[in-house]
Structure 1
């Protein structure tokens, strides 16, 4: 048996139309998984439980949560910007966990993969609110990963930056001369990490071959090392 195969796996993916969703869905399907998708931002407290209940058996939950980053300075950031970021990207995590972990613990098998951001791993100007929410996500994944390990349930996170995706790096951003200059000095690859490269790594972490990883945060950043 190929340990990286996803054949027969039922994978629940949130916010499937955003961020990495347009690449993850076809790739995971091609690799044999049944992908159950939902396109909504999970700000309604009841939605996570509803999603898991509708999905039934879930082998892998990909906690794929994102909103456009607020770019206010620290002194200008508003309560509303903070609330939007945490309501969309942090608050759904414990709700999803409460809904999906009982069945995984009962089976002694299952995975949660958080698709997060490396903005939490190094200081970035005008990103304090967004980085704080993304940092809370990573801390959650690390803590829950250690807690779930004895149950043979693996919880890990990808912390990505400068990965090609329509939410944070749409075509108009990539075409801007300042962005092209940024790529030259910040990316040893000389390009963004492709969506396919990132999605293939996510698929590996969803497979049985990755059972040895628990509570890990994997930077996918195309060259720079998080400080």
Structure 2
């Protein structure tokens, strides 16, 4: 096992959901000291509290998720829209305000968003979720080019059809209709494994990937575009 993250301290958000458990395990295996936070970030002051409690860290893993609503676009109400954006989008600038000043002072840092490829292709009954995931990616692209001059690399993984308990639990994966869908829609014919995804995240957070700024990397088993 490579120790490419040896000496790095990592703040992992929502460590018990989405890609959190496997990121925690893989980053630790690569030598990182992982501060795993499982708290909610919806409250306006929560991101600042989490960043302050973590102490000094080199890498921020913005692993944000919630079950995706499947409401037809014309039936999406204010409550759904607000909840999804409050969970997925609003924490990002708050985290940035809290974490970036210390990264600038140290002269280095990395922020990696674990996002979704739902923003890269139109999907029925996913307007709220796709819009929020798209806003995440746009924020990363803008933030990445702004912070590059400070030796802070901000990037995103935009994933779909990646094994994780939030969006593809065991009962979904066991469904024959879902298995047929994989064969039909995903060139790999399978889900990307959680470890494959986490290993790529680890590489992006290593010093070997300092050349990437403001980039969105699709991890979709070959599924991308329209």
Corresponding position of 2:97: 98
- Provide the C-alpha distance between the structure 1 equivalents of 2:7 and 2:97, rounded to a whole number of angstroms: 24
Corresponding position of 1:138: 137
What are the superposed Cα offsets for residues 87-135 of structure 1, whole Å, 9 maximum, x if unpaired? 0000000000000000111111000000000000000011000000000
- Equivalent pair of 1:138/1:157 in contact (CA under 8 Å): yes
Corresponding position of 1:195: 194
Corresponding position of 1:183: 182
Corresponding position of 2:146: 147
- Provide the C-alpha distance between the structure 2 equivalents of 1:25 and 1:224, rounded to a whole number of angstroms: 26
Residue-pair matches, total: 225
Corresponding position of 1:207: 206
- Provide the C-alpha distance between the structure 1 equivalents of 2:174 and 2:213, rounded to a whole number of angstroms: 38
- Equivalent pair of 2:120/2:224 in contact (CA under 8 Å): no
Does 1:88 pair with 2:120?
A: no
- Equivalent pair of 2:8/2:31 in contact (CA under 8 Å): yes
RMSD over aligned Cα, in angstroms? 1.0
Corresponding residue SS for 2:199: helix
TM-score, normalised relative to structure 1: 0.97
What are the superposed Cα offsets for residues 129-173 of structure 1, whole Å, 9 maximum, x if unpaired? 000000000000000000000111000000000000000000111
Question: Which sections of structure 1, spanning at least 5 residues, go unmatched?
Answer: none
Does 1:160 pair with 2:155?
A: no
| Runs of 4+, deviation exceeding 6 Å | none
Corresponding position of 2:32: 33
- Provide the C-alpha distance between the structure 2 equivalents of 1:135 and 1:41, rounded to a whole number of angstroms: 21
